[in-house]
Chain A
Amino acid sequence: MIPYAFDYTRPESVEEALDLLDDDAKLLAGGHSLVPALKLRLSAPGRLIDIARIPSLKGIREENGEIVIGAGTTHAEIMKSDLLKQHLPMFAEGAALIGDPMVRHKGTIGGSLAHADPSADWPAMVIAADGEVVLRGRNGSRSVAAADFFIGFYSTALEEGEIITEIRLPVPAEGTRMNYQKFAQPASRFAIVGCAVVRHPDGSVRVAFTGVSDAPFRDTGVEEALSGQQLTDDVIEAAAAKAAEGVSLNSDHFASEEYRQHLARVYCKRALNAVA
Chain B
Amino acid sequence: MTQITVTVNGTSQTHEVEPRQLLVYYLRDKLGLTGTHIGCDTSSCGACTVHMDGMAVKSCSILAVQADGCEITTIEGLAQGDQLHPVQEGFKECHGLQCGFCTPGMIMATVDMLQNNPDPTEEDIRHALEGNICRCTGYHNIVRSVQWAAEKMKTSAKVLDGASVSPSPVYASVNLNQQQQQQL
Contacts and interface: CB of A to CB of B under 8 A. Distances in A.
A103 B131 contact: yes
Given A35-B61, A36-B61, A189-B130, A103 B66 contact: no
Given A102-B43, A106-B57, 8 more contacts: A3-B20, A10-B65, A35-B22, A35-B61, A100-B130, A101-B56, A101-B109, A101-B130
A6 B113 contact: no
Contacts, number: 77
A2 interface: yes
A149 B178 CA distance: 50
B49 interface: yes
B6 to A, nearest CB: 14
10 contacts: A2-B22, A28-B63, A31-B63, A32-B61, A35-B61, A36-B42, A100-B46, A101-B130, A102-B49, A103-B131
Contacts of B113: 101
A50 B130 contact: no
A93 to B, nearest CB: 13
B44 interface: yes
B56 A6 contact: no
Given A8-B63, A31-B66, A36-B61, A103 B43 contact: yes
B131 A100 contact: yes
Interface in B21-49: 22, 41-44, 46, 49
A5 B44 contact: no
B19 interface: yes
Contacts of B61: 31-32, 35-36, 106
A238 interface: no
B18 interface: yes
A6 B56 CA distance: 26
Contact of A5 (B18, B41, B42): B18
Given A2-B20, A36-B42, A36-B43, A102 B57 contact: yes
A48 interface: yes
Contacts of B128: 101
Contacts of B22: 2, 35, 39
A243 B132 CA distance: 34
A155 to B, nearest CB: 23
A52 interface: yes
Contacts of B55: 76, 105
